Amino acid sequence: MERLRECGDCYACCNGNLVAKILSNDMGAGKPCTFLVDTKCVVYEQRPQVCKDYQCAWSQGLLSEDMKPTISDVMISVEKDGQKQFFRVIELVSDIKEEVYTEIKEFTDKHDTYFIKVPYRKVIPIVKT
């Protein structure tokens, strides 16, 4: 999938919300990527493939501008269950606004898919599709 939006000020995927090994350093379970310094990736030009490949649903242009993780407080990964895609909704804070889930439900209903919710501070691995 092509990235339609640039991350800009968002670094939710690097901030310990996903589990991955980045250049031999563990990230996840609330532990940010070692290379995230002052909200910037200091190895961006040499970042590993797992970083290059990861795109949230917002960066793919699947959801409205208001669903950017820095605005909605959720990061949404598009993943596969066999042949069917679904959304993994990762809560970045403990109190998500109801309208966030309204937009997610509208999208998943329209596209005959589903979403699973990962409550704030639960750990999940990056799933390769």
**Model confidence over 93-114: pLDDT tens digits?**
988 988 999 999 999 999 999 9
Instruction: Please tell me the pTM assigned to this model.
Output: 0.82
CA–CA distance, 42 with 59 (Å, rounded to integer): 21
**Residue 125, pLDDT score:** 57
CA–CA distance, 4 with 95 (Å, rounded to integer): 28
Percent of the chain, pLDDT > 90? 40
**Residue 65, pLDDT score:** 94
Tens digits of residue pLDDT in 74-89: 999 988 888 888 999 9
- Is residue 129's pLDDT more than 60? no
Q: Backbone phi, then psi, for 104, in 5-degree steps?
A: -60, -45
**Residue 72, pLDDT score:** 95
**Residue 52, pLDDT score:** 84
Domain spans in the chain, listed from the N-terminal domain onward = 12-118
**Residue 7, pLDDT score:** 87
CA–CA distance, 3 with 5 (Å, rounded to integer): 6
